[in-house]
Structure 1
Amino acid sequence: MTDRDETIDKVARLIAPFNKKGVALADGTTFAGDLEWDSLVVMDFIANVEDEFDILITMNMQAEIETVGQLVDAIETLRNDASPRL
């Protein structure tokens, strides 16, 4: 399993309590359209993601993230940027 696959699994687990309609998740699943989340749900979810991955997703980044795949890519980028360089 790749790091990205592990990130997808963790993100899916974090989405589950907010996925009231049981929408099937894929890279292209949108938070606003498919999952029908409002801004309060998004903020709660992002707080959980930040805690789980020990990252900070800025408001500017949040505005650009519309799909599950984009979120996973952003998490991977933030985690890699935070890794110590040798």
Structure 2
Amino acid sequence: MTDRAQTFARVAEQIEPFNKKGVDVTDATTFQGDLEWDSLTVMDFVAAVEDTFDITITMNMQAEIETVGQLVDAVDKLQQG
């Protein structure tokens, strides 16, 4: 399994408790459109991801991340320093 695939699996794991609609999670899944998350859910999810990966996702980064794939790429980039 590639590093990116491992990151995707861990991110998908974090999405699961928030995935009330049972959406199939792919790189193209959007947080607002597909998962229909409100801002409070997004904040809770971001906190969970930050804790899991021991990273900080800035507000500017959050504003640019619309899909699961974009988040996975951002997490990988942040972990590399």
Query: TM-score w.r.t. structure 2 length?
Result: 0.99
> By how many angstroms is 1:25 displaced?
0.7
Quote the residue 1:12 is aligned against: 12
Q: How many residue pairs get matched?
A: 81
Tell me which structure has the larger Cα radius of gyration. Answer: 1
Structure 1 stretches of 4+ with a deviation exceeding 3 A read none
Quote the residue 1:84 is aligned against: none
Question: Structure 2: where are the runs of 5+ without partners?
Answer: none
Question: Structure 1: where are the runs of 5+ without partners?
Answer: 82-86
Q: Partner letter of residue 2 of structure 1?
A: T
Mapped to 2, the partners of 1:14 and 1:68 lie a distance apart of: 11
**RMSD, matched Cα:** 0.4
> By how many angstroms is 1:46 displaced?
0.1
Alignment of 1:34-49 (within 5 A): 34-49=34-49
Matched residues, percent identical? 70
> By how many angstroms is 1:28 displaced?
0.6
